[in-house]
Chains A and B, each alone.
Chain A
Amino acid sequence: MRKIKIVTVFLLCLFCVTLFSSCEKPGTELSELMIMQGIGIDFENDIYTVTVEILNNEQSGSPGGDGTSENKTKIYSAKGETVSEALRKLTEKSGNEPLFAHNRVVVLGEKAINRDLRDVIDFFERDYDSRVSQLICVAKNSSAEDLIRAELFKDGVKCEILENMLEEGYNNSIIPRVRIIDAVNHLKDATSGLCIPAVSVQKNGENENYFLDGCGVFGADGKFLKYIDSATAEGLAFLNDTVKKGYITAHISDKGKATFLINKGTTSFEIIEDDGVLKYNMKIKLSCDLDEIEGQENFKNDTEILNALQKGVGESICKKVENTFVSLQNTPSSDVIRFGKRLRLENLDLYNTLADDWGNIFPEIKLSVTVETTIRRIGEETFNSQKEIS
């Protein structure tokens, strides 16, 4: 028994000594971390360039930021044959160990998107440290490096601003949200393409600022196809059934305009095959609040206004959806709205016969849109308040 005890104690000591000795340092000190906030990827001449924004953790003074003139972040760039190699090379520059876990966005530069998207994001899929929920966006008309190095008005974490813009855009149903996991899911699917939000830099006097500039469309094979502008991208939320909040402006029978805040919106599909032509019946249910209205005195009574408003909203949405859908159909194999997957779930046999040629079938699909609008609130004012005052 005594011998066992001695052996156990010896083993435990060995365990502790090995862990505490410098050869295998347990853990990483906080001050030795390179905390990534954003990663930009560019590709030129078969070489990847990564640009990262990292937190400046060697700052002296209080964390509140007052009393120090140093920036909150630093930006580094490195080159490598693969994304991973370039990222690992960053250690040589900063001397710290990279921590990808807090990365907010991955920006794909203008030239990087011409590569197969699957190759570009493989690192983020594979590396344990990086979150699969980090957002992806495309730098439109600039390199990712330029985007991350942009001189903004605000001092702060640039990629946080970028992330907030992308999140808000998604929440307002303007652009789709694409995380690493969404990108992989779309690309794994034989029929689905991918639509990644695009961000541009705008010169504004001395400074620059970011703005959402539509989306970049990728085919099912991960190849970049084209850009669509912001107005066109607005219909995507309805087609993808990802409407959360947002606003919509409707034209009411040429009598005026009205803006609504969307409360809730759901989209459902019904797929009909008619003589070899696929027809998708799309039904949108929308609940919204009136935010602003003009020309209300032209109507006779409240019911008439409400009916007109509902109709106006419906027409406006139909227009948006149609606009987007037609724009997508113009390019082959750009099923970014996963119509193929919907068919697979609904009618597997039909899908199996069509899947191989989906790139050519998608442009032929007929879409009919029905919108069912419910106006929930009309705001603080009644419809005819202005009339009464006059």
Chain B
Amino acid sequence: MYILIKKGKNIFGDYVTEKNTFLNIDNLTEESFGDIRENAVENGRLIKQAFEGSFDIVVKKGYCNGKCVVFANCDGLCNSQKIADNAIRPILSYKGELPEDSPLDFIADRIICGTEQKKETSLDNAIMQLLRGTLLIFLEGQKECIIFGVQNIPERAITEPDTEVQEFGSREGFTENIKTNLTLVRKRLCTTNFKIEMLETGKTGKTRVLICYMKGRVNPDTLEEVRSRLQGLNIDMVLGAGYLRKTLDTKRKSLFTMVGETQRPDTFAAKLCEGKVGLIIDGTPFALVVPRLFIENFQTLDDYVNRPFYAAFMRSVRILAFLISVFLPGVFVSIGLFHQEMLPDDMLYNIVIMESNTLFTLTIEALIIHFIYEIVREAGLRMPKTVGHAISIVGALVIGDAAVTAGLIGAPMLIVVALTAICSLVSSDVYQPIAILRIVFILIGGSTGLYGIVIGAAVFVISLASMTDYGVPFLAPLTPYDKALFRDSVFRLSNEKLGARIFDINGLKMTKEEGKNVNDA
């Protein structure tokens, strides 16, 4: 990972940029302060020096039975009331003797009261902890300090996630706080088998990442793979879940990803129970789940709450919507340009009359209107919420009525695009590939007709079928077909039929042992 730094001034300046140089992450260094000194005041000074006098770093000196005590914390990340009540006041007002050996333990065990406290000898680590919202307590003559947990990191309330709306699911969603997120999962998985490992990623950001899994269900290979990929990660900052996606995904060039993303703790817990590995990342409400199958894009939690027949129906509707949103504009363009004979007489007549007044060929029409749609959509996403109505009115008027009356596009094309746009919103997880594929298929359909579209679709399916990550084929359990798991994929059988069986991703894993090597020639 490189950060681009432009050397020199721009062309209007004194000298012209010769070459772009990159700042290599591997060269990034931080000042080291070594171990904690015996002099408590010195430690306080070093901390001040480390932050070069940032005003939010608070260092306070006091005395406990004649011995100097230095408290350091980062204002804003901690609860000041808690610091005063639980640490400073008991220490400073302590009148008794401090024992000669391990006085810090005495303070920790007898004087201050709190649940989270530990000792640290390295000043660097202590500073790290300071930035996580803890209080550091240095005592004169001790080469250690107490790290006292008084975090009060500002966070958003738990709200319903707006990207994954469920009709019948819980209304809780992940927040940006890693602990809250963990709590939300923990309360759904009351078992000792639920294991968590913590990693820090990012050279500068040092973002905490929790690797969550269910012991006994997760495949050790998958877990090891995730671990090693994260440890090998060379990145400056992790500001969102997507930052980790590129190392977790091996097929980086593919439009589809085998790394799932969720904002819902219930979905997250369910995926862990299927034997997958989950990642909760500090500072983002999106958790990652690996591996993810293609069919999961069309499954929702509601499917398990609804009646099976309805769930099965809705799943097929979602798949149909996906197919429509990818192929319909391309197919329409190709039929209009190449296969007019496929349309029934009256339909052809009506379409011909309506299209005969337009300016462009069908391909160009389809492209124009899709670009307009994407622009309107992007504007709707980024603009201030207060102008939302204005955009939708303009969008509706421009795309809808005016374009048809002006003869820019035909009414049939408008219907096709409108249907496509609505369908593409059904499975929001695959919106990105859909938006790209749609344009690709319009181009193919407009140049080579249905035959080109089918060849394109073949490429699409074969490349999806050849995707395997963490040993699991992306299109499973559709192909390779797995009878047991298929019953909860495209459709879902009733709970009685599924019985006590749980969807287990490990059933799909391909082992690495080689087949019989008969005449390889």
A: residues with CB less than 8 A from B are 16, 19-20, 26-31, 33, 35, 55, 57-60, 62-63, 99, 101-102, 129, 131, 160
Contact = CB atoms under 8 A, between A and B. Distances in A.
B355 interface: yes
Given A16-B443, A30-B351, A63-B349, A99 B340 contact: yes
Contacts of B193: none
Contacts of A16: 443, 447
A9 to B, nearest CB: 14
Interface string B347-365: 0111111111100011100
B146 to A, nearest CB: 57
22 contacts: A19-B447, A19-B448, A26-B338, A26-B448, A27-B334, A27-B338, A27-B362, A27-B449, A28-B340, A29-B361, A30-B340, A30-B348, A30-B356, A31-B356, A35-B352, A57-B353, A60-B357, A63-B349, A63-B353, A102-B340, A102-B345, A129-B341
A60 B357 CA distance: 8
A318 to B, nearest CB: 41
B446 interface: yes
B305 to A, nearest CB: 46
A26 B352 contact: no
B412 to A, nearest CB: 10
Nearest to A61: B353
B337 A27 contact: yes
A102 B349 CA distance: 11
Given A20-B447, A26-B448, A55 B349 contact: yes
Interface size class of B (residues with CB under 8 A): 20 to 34
Interface of B: 334, 336-338, 340-341, 345, 348-357, 361-363, 443, 446-449
A33 B340 CA distance: 9
Nearest to A27: B337
Contacts of B351: 30
B38 to A, nearest CB: 60
A67 to B, nearest CB: 12
Given A26-B446, A26-B447, 9 more contacts: A27-B336, A27-B362, A29-B337, A29-B361, A30-B336, A30-B356, A35-B348, A55-B352, A63-B349
Grouping DSSP codes into helix (H, G, I), strand (E, B) and loop, the B interface class, with mixed when no group exceeds half, is: helix
A57 B356 contact: yes
B436 to A, nearest CB: 16
Q: Which of B341, B350, B448 has the most CB of A within 10 A?
A: B341
B349 A35 contact: yes
Contacts of A26: 337-338, 363, 446-449
A101 B341 CA distance: 5
A53 to B, nearest CB: 12
B379 to A, nearest CB: 29
Contacts of A27: 334, 336-338, 361-362, 446, 449
A33 B353 CA distance: 11
B349 A101 contact: no
A129 B341 CA distance: 8
A38 to B, nearest CB: 12
A29 B447 CA distance: 12
Contacts of B357: 60
Contacts of B348: 30, 35, 102
Given A29-B362, A33-B340, A35-B348, A59 B353 contact: yes
A63 B337 contact: no
**A20, A27, A99, A131 — which one has the most chain B CB atoms within 10 A of its CB?**
A27
Contacts of A55: 349, 352
A63 B354 contact: yes
Nearest to B351: A30
Closest 3 CB pairs of A and B: A27-B337, A101-B341, A31-B356
B341 A102 contact: yes
Contacts of B443: 16
Contacts of A58: 356
Contacts of A30: 336, 340, 348, 351-352, 355-356, 362
Given A26-B446, A27-B449, A33 B352 contact: yes
A368 to B, nearest CB: 45
Contacts of A20: 447
Contacts of B334: 27
Nearest to B410: A30
Contacts of A31: 352, 355-356
Nearest to B412: A30
A298 to B, nearest CB: 52
Nearest to B345: A102
B446 to A, nearest CB: 6
Contacts of A160: 345
A60 B356 CA distance: 9
Contacts of A129: 341
A129 B338 CA distance: 11
A28 B353 CA distance: 15
Contacts of A60: 357
A374 B443 CA distance: 61
Nearest to B341: A101
Nearest to A31: B356
A101 B352 CA distance: 15
B337 A99 contact: no
A50 B357 CA distance: 30
Nearest to B357: A60
B324 to A, nearest CB: 22
Contacts of A63: 349-350, 353-354
B463 to A, nearest CB: 15
Contacts of B447: 16, 19-20, 26
A35 B356 CA distance: 13
A30 B443 CA distance: 18
B337 A28 contact: yes
A178 B228 CA distance: 74
Contacts of A59: 353, 356
Contacts of B341: 99, 101-102, 129, 131
Nearest to A60: B357
A131 B344 CA distance: 13
Contacts of B337: 26-29
A31 B357 CA distance: 8
A130 B86 CA distance: 92
Interface centre among B338, B361, B363 (most CB of A within 10 A): B361
Contacts of B340: 28, 30, 33, 35, 99, 101-102
A16 B357 CA distance: 27
Contacts of B362: 27, 29-30
Contacts of B354: 63
**Residue in A26, A57, A99 whose Cβ sees the most chain B Cβ within 10 Å:** A26
